Amino acid sequence: MNDTLEARPSPDRGTAAYVTRDVNAGELLGTLRGIRLPTRTRYSIERDGDHYETGAPERYVNHACAPNARWSGRELRALRSLQAGEEVTFDYTETESAFASPFLCRCGSENCRVKIGEPSA
Ligand SMILES: [Zn+2]
């Protein structure tokens, strides 16, 4: 159960996760629960060399190159204060050492790296 984060359809990015209330920087947004997998998947999150298939809503937190949240151990925490209804994102390259499904990022950030999961030049 997570009262702070909810998954719902995004206008342009499939399903996304949003905060249900205003939160402060550093606040807990979600936790890594779920099944440990033998290999990574498109939705798994890597921690300490293992891959976890998370449930909703954490499963639907999208990537952004300038994210507003970060996984610290098994906890997803806000990097800055967020307003109710704001989409929550983290940088997938901070958790994954490789990618099951490399993708083209459309986060719109000034420093968007575009090719996520591709080796950098
Ligand atoms: Zn990006």
78-90 per-position pLDDT tens digit = 999 999 999 999 9
CATH, domain range 5-114 = 2.170.270.10
Distance 61 CA to ligand 1 centre (A): 14
Global pTM value: 0.92
Given a cut of 70, is residue 120 above it in pLDDT?
A: no
Given a cut of 70, is residue 39 above it in pLDDT?
A: yes
**Cα atoms in the Cβ-side hemisphere of radius 13 Å centred on 32:** 21
Average pLDDT over residues 12-17: 91
Residue ranges of the domains in the chain? 5-114
Position 48 confidence tier, pLDDT thresholds 50, 70, 90: confident
Distance 111 CA to ligand 1 centre (A): 7
Distance 65 CA to ligand 1 centre (A): 4
pLDDT at residue number 8: 96
pLDDT at residue number 49: 87
Position 112 confidence tier, pLDDT thresholds 50, 70, 90: very high
Distance 117 CA to ligand 1 centre (A): 12
Alpha carbons 77 and 74: distance in angstroms, whole number: 10
pLDDT at residue number 13: 84
Distance 94 CA to ligand 1 centre (A): 13
Given a cut of 60, is residue 119 above it in pLDDT?
A: no
Query: If residue 77 lies in a helix (H) or strand (E), which one and from where to where?
Result: strand 75-78
Alpha carbons 111 and 6: distance in angstroms, whole number: 27
Distance 1 CA to ligand 1 centre (A): 29
pLDDT at residue number 118: 65
pLDDT digits (tens, 9 = 90+) for 92-107: 999 999 998 899 998 9
